[in-house]
Amino acid sequence: MVARLNGTRPRSEKYSGAVPALRRGRYGEFAMRFETWSKAGNKSIATLDVDCLVLGVFEDGELSEEAGTVDSACDGRLRKLLERGDFPGKAAETLLLADLPGISATRVLLTGLGPKKDFSRKTWRKSWAAAVAALLKTGIASAALALERPDAKELDDYYFGRAAAEIAAGSLYRINDLKSGKKPKPARLERVLAGPVGKSAATAVNRGLEHGAAIAAACGVQRDLANLPGNVCTPTFLAEETRALAKRHRSLRVRVLDEPAIRREKMGCLLAVSQGSAQPPRLIVIEHTPAGKAGQAHPVVLVGKGVTFDTGGISLKDPGAMDEMKFDMSGAAAVIAALTLAAALDLPLRVVGLVAAVENMPDGNAVKPGDIATSASGQTVEILNTDAEGRLILCDALHYARRFKPAAVVDIATLTGACVVALGHHHSGAMGNDEALVTELVAAGVRADDRAWPLPVTEEYAEQLKSNFADFANIGGRDGGAITAAAFLGKFTQGLKWAHLDVAGTAYQGGAQKGSTGRPTPLLADFLIRRAGL
Ligand code: BES
Ligand code: MN
Ligand code: ZN
């Protein structure tokens, strides 16, 4: 017989089953370079040395400025094509033309921009994404982005460069799948020139291109980690992969608390969630410390929910779409991704990532409804529903954040189905105890085209968490479920400047396009870049 002490039992430190051709420590990498092109000197778009020019056409048949230049260079062939009605210019439609006379590029990709009066940053993004998707189907290796640009208050030079690179590099993303057939050939497109960029704008556009590429890489990190199946991506695995990723960046240090260390921190709520699983929990600490003085300041602390699989525990979930609960570590993946971004951009800002990684399973040792756990803060929690586990691991991780004397704490979590009911899949929920911080995150989401919407966490909501047996219960009923979850976290963040992003509806997609979206990494990136003063 195997000896069992105090209900503990042997735990597997290994992940089991199929292991994909892992890109250990190389998540999110892609091969694409970005430059600008300009019309300086006698150069015009007609003489650009690239395989393909990406030109815009409005739905009213009007050529964008650069398309007009090309049209003149090739004896009005573009205009003729439009007059024949061969390309209506609907937003995001494309048509590839080859071997036009009078220009250096061997191909032209006409891209619809929709009606000119409706032209916006949104249509520009959509059209550029469609153009890149079309380019990736061809043998084109280099392309010049020459679409009409929305005016500067919609998209300034920096965000133009950033979005151009983020969209192009983001389009290269492919799921690191476990299909047994031959892997499709990687795309040829490896060089993208954004323009036209005048002398005075070059610095801002180039900075945007650099940041956009870094954001795409970070989104790739989040997506690669989140797309992995639960039998591969366990808490132990997540900790190992974080170490491997951090090895590639000099500014990053990783510390991993194993189960005994977590026990020493008295994280009773986190351990209650984990106790039904054969997989031991991990608390992963990732620190980005920039060189020089800025390293001394109070850090921004990001806290990620890393439930590598959420069955619901004894309060078992319905089987429909339960597989999607492998994405319940999306917050953790976003935190890891954000730290790699801080390192890649050498942000002059201290950033600490805390990842609470557990698996939520039902078994003979699992926590039961009515059980009471003591959090690291000393407060007691009656666990009325074992499926409200995210808040239980976060409350202990948020308490741990205090020791860093943070300037701000932001947690990221696929926390509630109620948030999906409230906001659908377009906005993440933004909550917290510091209005300025919540507003800052919402603004970052607008600039990053990765939006969040504020929900009110006023005192009344906390009253729904009353318990007869402990300091509070871990659920507050159906009504206002996204907010009562935040109110629970608020009990553990008093005195901190704290915000909470509920990304249950935004971090991944179900259905035919099932997979991680990489959100809210663009929002977090904008937040950190601004905080760093870049
Ligand atoms: N991980 C889920 C939240 C979730 C639901 C994410 C749907 C994405 C899509 C979370 O752990 C959970 O189960 N929350 C419960 C809370 C309830 C028991 C108070 C929920 O939302 O049903
Ligand atoms: Mn749950
Ligand atoms: Zn969950």
Output the CA torsion 501→461→396→319 (10° steps): -70
- State mean pLDDT over 268-294: 94
The finding on whether 311 has its CB within 6 A of some atom of ligand 1 is no
d(C-alpha 199, C-alpha 429), whole Å: 40
For the beta carbon of residue 125, count every other beta carbon within 10 angstroms: 18
Cβ-proximal residues to 147 (8 Å cutoff; 6+ apart), any chain: 54, 55, 56, 64, 66, 111, 113, 124, 127, 128, 131
Beta carbon of 502 within 6 Å of any ligand 1 atom:
no
Residue 388 Cβ contacting ligand 1 at under 6 Å: yes
Neighbours of ion ligand 2 (CB under 5 A): 310, 387, 389
Given a contact cutoff of 8 angstroms between Cβ atoms, the answer to whether 373 and 268 are in contact is yes
Q: Identify the weakest region by mean pLDDT among 57-61, 321-325, 438-442, 450-454.
A: 57-61
Which ligand is in closest contact with the Cα of 416?
1
Q: What is the mean predicted confidence (pLDDT) over 280-288?
A: 98
Report the pLDDT value the prediction gives residue 292, as an integer from 0 to 100. 80
Ligand nearest to the CA of 503: 1
Quick check: is 317 catalytic?
A: yes
Atom of ligand 1 nearest to the CA of 385: 18
> How confident is residue 3, by pLDDT bands cut at 50, 70 and 90?
very low
Q: Is 130 helix (H, G, I), strand (E, B) or coil?
A: helix
310 lines ligand 1 (CB under 6 A): yes
User: To test ligand 1's pocket by mutation, which of 308, 367, 387 has the most ligand atoms within 8 angstroms of CB?
Assistant: 387
- Kindly tell me the sign of the dihedral angle through the C-alpha atoms of 457, 460, 464, 467: positive
- 171-180, 332-341, 414-423, 446-455: least confident range: 171-180
Q: Judge if the beta carbon of residue 313 lies within 6 A of ligand 1.
A: no
Tokens encoding 158: 């920096």
d(CA 393, CA 398): 9
Q: What is the pLDDT of residue 141?
A: 98
Q: Which phi and psi angles does 110 have, rounded to 5°?
A: -75, 135
Widest distance between CA atoms in the chain: 88
430 alpha carbon, distance to own chain's centre:
15
* Spatial separation of the C-alpha atoms in residues 357 and 335, rounded to whole Å: 12
Q: How confident is the model at residue 5 (pLDDT cuts 50, 70, 90)?
A: very low
Helical segments of 112-234, H only:
121-136, 157-170, 202-227
Choose, from 391, 447, 451, 531, the residue flagged as catalytic: 391
Going by their DSSP bridges, the two strands 380-383 and 371-374 should be labelled as antiparallel
Contact 504 CB / ligand 1 (< 6 Å): yes
- Pairing between β-strand 94-98 and β-strand 380-383 as defined by DSSP bridges: unpaired
Question: 354-381 burial string, b = 16+ CB within 10 Å, else e?
Answer: bbbbbbbbbeeebbeeebbbbbbbebbb
Question: 10 Å Cβ neighbour count for 82?
Answer: 21
Mean pLDDT of 510-523: 98
**CA angle at 200 for the pair 154 and 346, rounded to the nearest 5°:** 80
Q: Is the CA virtual torsion 375, 381, 383, 385 positive or negative?
A: negative
Give the ligand 1 atom nearest the CA of 325.
1
Of 421, 417, 412, which Cα lies nearest the Cα of 500?
412
Q: Are 501 and 409 in contact (CB under 8 A)?
A: no
Tally the residues of the chain.
534
Banded pLDDT at 291 (limits 50, 70, 90): confident
- Give the separation between CA 310 and CA 361, rounded to whole angstroms: 7
User: Residue 491: its pLDDT value, please?
Assistant: 98
CA distance 308 to 288: 24
Query: What does each C-alpha distance from 101 to 127, 131, 424 come to in angstroms?
Result: 25, 22, 50
State which amino acid sits at residue 309: F
Give CA–CA dist 415/329, Å, rounded: 10
Nearest to 428 by CA among 452, 456, 457, 444: 452
Compute, in angstroms, the gap from residue 312 CA to the centroid of ligand 2: 5
Atom of ligand 1 nearest to the CA of 418: 21
Helix (H) or strand (E) holding 498: strand 498-502
Q: If you average pLDDT over residues 383-402, what whole number do you get?
A: 98
Amino acid identity of residue 17, one-letter, is G
Nearest atom in ligand 1 to the alpha carbon of residue 508 is 8
| Six-digit token string for 203 | 């610095």
DSSP code for 153? T
pLDDT value for 295: 55
Instruction: Give residue-wise pLDDT tens across range 69-85.
Output: 999 999 999 999 999 99
- 3-class DSSP state of 58: coil
The C-alpha atoms of residue 273 and residue 367 are separated, in whole angstroms, by 7
**110 Cβ neighbours under 8 A, 6+ residues apart:** 55, 56, 57, 67, 78, 81, 87, 94, 95, 96, 97
- What is the whole-number distance in angstroms between the Cα of residue 241 and the centre of ligand 1? 26
pLDDT for 17 equals 57
Could you report the per-residue pLDDT of 161-198, keeping only the tens digit for each?
A: 999 999 999 999 999 888 888 888 889 999 999 999 99
| Ligand 1 neighbourhood includes 387 CB (under 6 angstroms) | yes
- Residue 55's Cα: distance from chain center in Å? 30
The string of pLDDT tens digits covering residues 27-43 is 988 999 999 999 887 67
pLDDT at 9 (0 to 100): 57
